A and B are shown apart, each in its own frame.
Chain A
Amino acid sequence: MSADANLSRGLGRSYGDASLPPDDRPDVLNTTFADRILSLDDDTGLFRAESGLALSELNRLLMPRGYFSPVSPGTKFVTLGGMVAADVHGKNQHRDGNFGDHVTALKMRVADGRVLECSPERHPDLFRATIGGMGLTGHILEVEFGMRRIPSQWIWQESRRIHNIDEFQDALEDAAPEWPYTMGWIDCLARGKHMGRGILMTGRWAEADQAPSGAPKRGFQPRLRFDWPEWVISGLTIRMFNELYYRKQWRRQSSGIVSHESFYYPLDAIGSWNRMYGRRGFTQYQCVLPREAGRSSARRVLDVLTTRGGASFLCVIKDFGRESSGILSFPRPGITLALDIAVRDDTQELVDALNEQVLQEGGRVYLAKDSFTRREHFEAMEGPRLDEFRAVRDRWDPDHRFRSAQSVRLLGD
């Protein structure tokens, strides 16, 4: 099947247009039927599966046996192929890097129809371009990576109230050596001296003797059945939500044992939560600001959002520790901000303004989330990395058979 299609699509959870086909070639390969586990080495944790296997299924099967993916994004409804293509990161990025850093081999079908194995040693150029390559180098058929051992399925979590964006960056930096998992939620509507106030969440796997016996129970899972009207997500409701969420952490600091699901995948608890944003949906704007840009860069980016009256329902902050091996991978040492923005008439202008600020800071955006960035902004952000990616792509797919709506928009395919 992979012989004919020009783009693979897994569970479609990338927020942008990376898994959507270009207008002139509507066929996309659905990978989710290719979901077989091929091997698990119980001594080393080395794991191999077809690329359509979902992380949710992997967790369900292997967490009770003490294994967890070395890197997990904020939703479990992703396929292994998607995790490679977006080179996803998680709350442990500052310590363990990206998913691609743990991938040891990929089986691919490339543009000329060949099926081949690539790894850091075999076809390293293809391997590095595929990790974070948004599906543009070929179909990812199989993924091999090392699983992590975990002592329980529970997380010891501490959360702490933070008063502004500068304190947040200090707190993330202080927590980094001590905690394997860190991230923060910020109230992006607070301005002035409260700008960037929020809650820092840190966690580590609970030891077996700290954790409740057995696995976390599955509670009721609500599901949104229809698109909410657009007035539901307005400046007022966002302000109320953010205020309440901040007040929820009424103690300076709290801690306790939580299930890994509520720690990692809070939004997965509500099926089709995206329908809350109405028919036009939402976009996520995620950028990274390099360490060299200094502490104040995050304040400048949030300023662009608040002065334009933009409101983000959820805003997440996280520090990145290192760059990944993928040519176009997103992270670099610094701070990342992710803003969930309901799509309204002025969204394009808002994203343009944010991109211009991020460009000045020397940062870049995350392609897995993006559907509004303009080509000139993208090219300016990526510079020589994009040249390297284009060179590898031209080598393996000179006719640019593999294309997506995103590659048409950003690479001019």
Chain B
Amino acid sequence: MRVAFLGATKGMGRALARQMAERGDTICLLGRNIVDLERSAADLSVRGATDSVGSVACDLENPETFASAIEAAREALGGLDAVVVTAGVFATQEELEADPALAERLLRINFSNTVMFCEAAKKALLEEGGGALCVFSSVAGERGRKPVILYGAAKAGLTRYLEGLDHKHRADGLRVVTVKPGFVKTSMTAGLDPPPFAGEPDAVAQRVLGAIDRGAPVVYAPAPWRLIMAVIRALPRAIMRRINF
């Protein structure tokens, strides 16, 4: 598989890219910090025992870079079978309420810019005759919840966009995979208290890779979160107002 990967340097993206490299996929890394990208590219090439992992500058804050970065990746890979997006930013509800500029930036990066990146990726994949577009959304987008109001709103929008994309283009060979991670122990969540069913990045990556291969439209990871969120979605507002989940 030839993969353009935005966000492979850290956390779940790093774990997923490693599993891809170890099974022999070719990966072109997209990201903002080229020095960091090259360190991850070195890691992936030793793991995959290959030397053909490229890196291309692409900043999720700067939509002008999207189309050209995907084009550069496609050229470096000699085609394109999958695009993976794990990049995004996180901040707690308190931090976002205290800093409107931060809130605006988070909403822009996690929603509109991610969507615009997917638009460019979709175009490239359709030109290739189809492929997988795997995007990390979040369980935070499933229900309006007190601790993740703004972050969850951006992820909810992203989830709906990806759902629509799947409905429209599945017949064209585009397999849109929406990943909804629950709490996963990564550098992003370091310092937060892990709840029950907190997952490890490697286990999440394994589930996601299976979903990409099968073309499953939605994957919860770790698995128990599918059930947890089914319960949360069914709770009446009167209860949601009382609990702090």
Contacts and interface: CB of A to CB of B under 8 A. Distances in A.
Contacts of B40: 36
A147 to B, nearest CB: 11
Contact of A36 (B39, B186, B187): B39
A37 B49 contact: no
A370 to B, nearest CB: 29
Given A30-B190, A33-B187, A33-B190, A65 B42 contact: no
B4 to A, nearest CB: 20
A33 B190 CA distance: 10
B89 interface: no
A38 B38 CA distance: 9
B43 A37 contact: yes
A61 interface: yes
Nearest to B41: A36
Contacts of A65: 49
Interface residues of A, number: 10
Contacts, number: 24
B242 to A, nearest CB: 33
A37 B17 CA distance: 14
Contacts of A37: 42-43, 46-47
B187 A38 contact: no
A30 B185 CA distance: 13
B190 A36 contact: no
B190 A38 contact: no
B104 to A, nearest CB: 26
A30 B186 CA distance: 11
A30 B187 CA distance: 10
B190 to A, nearest CB: 7
Interface in A30-51: 30, 33, 36-40, 50
Given A30-B190, A33-B187, A33-B190, A38 B47 contact: no
Interface of B: 10, 22, 39-40, 42-43, 46-47, 49, 186-187, 190
Interface of A: 30, 33, 36-40, 50, 61, 65
Given A33-B190, A65-B49, 6 more contacts: A33-B187, A36-B42, A36-B43, A37-B43, A38-B42, A39-B42
24 contacts: A30-B190, A33-B10, A33-B186, A33-B187, A33-B190, A36-B39, A36-B40, A36-B42, A36-B43, A37-B42, A37-B43, A37-B46, A37-B47, A38-B39, A38-B42, A38-B43, A39-B42, A39-B46, A40-B46, A50-B39, A61-B22, A61-B46, A61-B47, A65-B49
7 A-B pairs with least C-beta separation:
A36-B43, A37-B46, A33-B187, A37-B43, A40-B46, A38-B42, A36-B39
